[in-house]
Chains A and B, each alone.
Chain A
Amino acid sequence: MAAPLLSVRDLIVEFPTRRGTLRALDRVSFDIAEGEVLGMVGESGAGKSLTGAAIIGLLEPPGRIAGGEIWLRGERIDNLPREKMRRVRGRRIGMVFQDPLTSLNPLYTVAEQLIETIRTHMDLSEKEARARAVGLLDRVGIPAAARRIDDYPHHFSGGMRQRVVIALALAAEPELVIADEPTTALDVSVQAQIIDVLKEICAERGASVMLITHDMGVIAETADRVAVLYAGRLAEIGPVRDVIQAAEHPYTAGLMGSIPTLTQTAERLTQIPGSMPRLNAIPQGCAFNPRCPKVFERCYRDQPNLIARADGRHVSCWLYDAQEKEVSHG
């Protein structure tokens, strides 16, 4: 396999509080290949948005990267000075957030914001930048783009605004787009359109996508591979179809069973008992051990690492440890 576009290695994010340090991400490692869409799922508080924020260097203080490395196409970016990191953001990594209103400045027209972004990162004249901006808006599906470009963000509906944000994220031809819950604030019928636009436009420009969402359905529709986070730790990572249809980690399996679908007819949903632990109360060993149906003695003792499985899958669960297999067979 070719060198990955983004490589995150043993990322640790901590929040110092007056009652001790909370570890919000614990040794998270994953790669995103060129042109790949990586889905990142997890429940609220699992650390998925935090992972995105750490990559683009926008962790809210007092949160800080306490360990690990982030590499973007062979260049280490987690320790860049603020000024340099700003140039990476926008130019090389584009961002789409849940609420389009937070990423658009209500005081400037869409044209002003797009042109400014384009000219900050690319050597273009005002006129060229404007033409490019109109082309982008047209591409993301805004009708009459040449006229509407001079409107203010509040003139657009929620779905149209999110299209503008996607155009803005892609304005400087980034290599990677981080989309954090891009459709959560939207209605289902609009969500489907936005997902399609995001997927198509990134594919045609060769940009990789890190899609952060709590919605497995969106991941299933969009992503090539999926990473499942639980309590700040990576539970499982692998190709979407494999993970959805044959989850290996007991948490992923439970999660998949708990989602009602349009085709199943089960009377009761599978449910995982309890809820995800708070950051100050993560149990020793595997974080999932109090809720796991297949828990055994070792899970209370040691924290599992990612174990490589067939077909590029990884799972952090002692059930899949070679050594354990031998023990249980013997």
Chain B
Amino acid sequence: MADVLLSVEGLTRRFDVSKPWLNRVIEREERQFLTASENVSFEIKRGETFALVGESGSGKSTIAKMIVGLLEPSAGVIRFDGQQMDFASGAAMRTLRRRFQMIFQDPFASLNPRWRVEDIIAEPIRTFGLLRGAEISKEVGRLLDLVGLSAADGAKFPHEFSGGQRQRIAIARALSSKPEFIVCDEPTSALDVSVQAQILNLMRDLQDEFGLTYLLISHDLSVVRHMANRIGVLYLGRLVEVAESKRLFTDPQHPYTRMLLDAVPDLALSGRRRMPVTGEIPNPINPPSGCTFHPRCPKVMDICKASNPPDYPTSTGTAACHLLAPQEVASTGR
């Protein structure tokens, strides 16, 4: 049960955001790079839901895109079921590709408006040559039924469906190649809450039925809490904390995680005491020195400005914060 399905090591991605060459020469500017993801490592076990949570600029979508091969990493290694992913090699990747899929954020953009639903869902089946002829339409009907639509819906076009129904179609497409691992990039953030509940429940049911492994990308802590077994918190492209879901919400170790939790509006009206949130996310092109969170951190120390903290072990994971350093290290920093 505890075997690792996907592992990511030192995943880094830099984007060149420099102005065009001529502008740089005339305005005497340096080349500029945006580090969307820096040295990110984590493992996802078979059958679990691992969530990456973070605000804009945290690099969560960049990491998701690198894992499914939509973006090339600048550095780092991705292993799927023990095999290193190399998207440049077509033939070797073909068998691997069938085993993972992706669900996107915007159900209005993720389905080709000119295609019939049956063709959309059958695309992975045809691309991988899994079935042929009448078997395909039978399978499409089964998949539609599985996600709570009817087989007759296959003949329609995407614009005839509501947002929630479209996301069901996108899920049916993702399931059609019988994958083991699905990357879900903000699967419900474009949907209304009552529809979100339907989709989240559906995703859970499918996980139970097929033993799926999910990587859930989200900015919504309550969705993450509801869905994930383990959670990684990202801040400016760095993984600041990884912990088991329950632990993260009851006992956050990193000050940023704590701040994020305090920022979520309290629907239960419990009147829990919260620390006011301060500051904004800095410009990722020129991130602060040392620990990138130090300008906003209520517990900032001198060492935080100077050096980037390593990952220290916590009870159920890791956290990158100097506060967690063994005592003698912290004292030299002061």
Q: How large is the interface on B (under 10, 10 to 19, 20 to 34, 35 or more residues)?
A: 35 or more
Q: How far is the CB of B158 from chain A (nearest CB, A)?
A: 15
Known contacts A217-B264, A245-B269, A261-B267; A190 and B194 CB within 8 A of each other: no
* A159/B269 in contact, CB under 8 A: no
Q: Are B221 and A188 in contact (CB-based, < 8 A)?
A: yes
**CA of A254 to CA of B192, assembled, Å:** 13
> Is the C-beta of A258 less than 8 angstroms from some C-beta in chain B?
yes
Contacts A43-B192, A187-B55; A262 near B263 (Cβ below 8 A)? no
Beta-carbon contact of B268 and A261 below 8 Å? yes
A259 to B222: give the CA distance in the assembly, Å.
8
Q: Which residue of A lies closest to B272 (CB)?
A: A263
- Indicate whether A220 sits within 8 Å of B226 (C-beta atoms), given known contacts A43-B193, A269-B200, A272-B194: no
- Please determine whether A269 and B267 come into contact, CB atoms closer than 8 angstroms: no
Residues 210-251 of chain B, each 1 if its beta carbon lies under 8 Å from chain A, else 0:
000000000101110110000000000000000000000100
Distance between Cα atoms of A273 and B249 in the complex (Å): 30
Best-surrounded residue of B222, B261, B262, B267 (most CB of chain A within 10 A): B267
Contact yes or no, B55 A188, CB < 8 A: yes
> Which of A24-32, A57-65, A191-199 has 4 or more CB atoms under 8 Å from chain B?
A191-199
Complex Cα spacing A316 to B150, Å: 33
B145 within 8 A of A: no
Q: Give A152 Cβ to nearest chain B Cβ, in Å.
A: 17
The residue on A at minimum CB distance from B53 is A188
Cβ contacts under 8 Å, A245 to chain B: 269
- Give chain B nearest CB distance to A15 CB in angstroms: 19
Please state if A262 and B261 are interface contacts (CB–CB under 8 Å): yes
**Interface-lining segment among B36-44, B123-131, B273-281, B318-326:** B273-281
Q: Give the complex CA separation of A271 and B259 in angstroms.
A: 30
Which of B164, B196, B280 contacts A159, CB < 8 Å?
Answer: B280
Measured between alpha carbons, how far is A214 from B220 in the docked complex, in Å? 14
Q: Is the CB of A260 within 8 A of B225?
A: yes
In-complex Cβ contact of A260 among B163, B223, B261 (8 A)? B223
Find out whether the CB atom of B263 lies under 8 angstroms from the CB atom of A191.
Answer: yes
Given A192-B263, A262-B264, answer yes or no on A275-B193 (Cβ-Cβ < 8 Å): no
Q: Is B266 an interface residue (CB 8 A)?
A: yes
When the two chains form the complex, which single residue of A44, A188, A261 contacts B219, counting CB atoms closer than 8 Å? A188
Beta-carbon contact of A262 and B277 below 8 Å: no
State the CA gap A314–B266 with chains docked (Å): 24
What are the residues of chain A within 8 A of B266 when measuring CB–CB? 217, 220-221, 262
Interface assignment of B112: CB less than 8 Å from any CB of chain A: no
| Other-chain contact of A255, B193, B270, B278 (Cβ < 8 Å) | B193
Which A residues lie within 8 Å of B226 (CB)? 260, 269
From residue B322, how far is it (CB to closest CB) to chain A in Å?
A: 21
User: Would B265 and A220 count as touching, CB distance under 8 A?
Assistant: yes
Residues of B within 8 A of A244 (CB): 267, 269
CB-based contact A259/B265 at 8 Å: no
Taking a contact as CB atoms closer than 8 A, the residue among A221, A240, A258, A262 that contacts B194 in the complex is A258
B197 neighbours in A (Cβ, 8 Å): 257-260, 269-272
Chain A window 206-235, contacts with chain B (Cβ cutoff 8 Å), 1 for yes, 0 for no: 000000001111101100000000000000
Q: Are A261 and B222 in contact (CB under 8 A)?
A: yes
Bound Cα distance from A42 to B201, whole angstroms: 21
Q: Which B residues lie within 8 Å of A44 (CB)?
A: 192
Q: Is the Cβ of A241 less than 8 Å from the Cβ of B269? A: yes
User: A190: which B residues are within 8 A, CB to CB?
Assistant: 277, 280-281
Which of chain B's residues has its CB closest to A192's CB?
B263
Give min CB distance, A44 to chain B, whole Å: 6
Q: A34–B138 Cα gap in the complex (Å)?
A: 62
- Chain A residues with CB below 8 A from B195, complex form: 43, 275
Most central of B264, B265, B277 by chain A CB within 10 Å: B265
Q: With a CB–CB cut-off of 8 A, which chain B residues contact A257? A: 197
B221 in contact with A262 (CB, 8 Å): yes
Of A43, A214, A273, most buried by chain B (CB within 10 Å of CB) is: A43
B280/A214 in contact, CB under 8 A: no
- A268 beta carbon closer than 8 Å to chain B: yes
Docked CA distance A244–B263 (Å): 19
Residue numbers in B under 8 Å from A267 (CB-CB): 204
A157 to chain B, nearest CB (A): 5
| Residue A189 interfacial (CB < 8 Å) | yes
Q: Which residues of A contact B269 (CB under 8 A)?
A: 220, 240-241, 244-245
B193 surroundings in chain A (CB, below 8 A): 43, 214, 216, 255, 258-259
Contacts of B280 in A (CB 8 A): 157, 159-160, 189-190
A192 and B221 alpha carbons, distance in the complex (Å): 14
- CB<8 Å pairs between A and B, sample of 28: A43-B192, A160-B280, A188-B221, A188-B263, A188-B264, A189-B280, A190-B277, A195-B265, A220-B266, A244-B269, A255-B193, A255-B194, A258-B193, A258-B197, A259-B193, A260-B197, A261-B225, A261-B268, A262-B222, A263-B268, A267-B204, A268-B204, A269-B200, A269-B226, A271-B197, A272-B198, A275-B162, A275-B195
Could you list 8 further interchain pairs (A-B, Cβ under 8 angstroms) beyond the known A193-B276, A275-B165? Answer: A43-B193, A190-B277, A214-B192, A214-B193, A220-B265, A245-B269, A258-B197, A261-B222
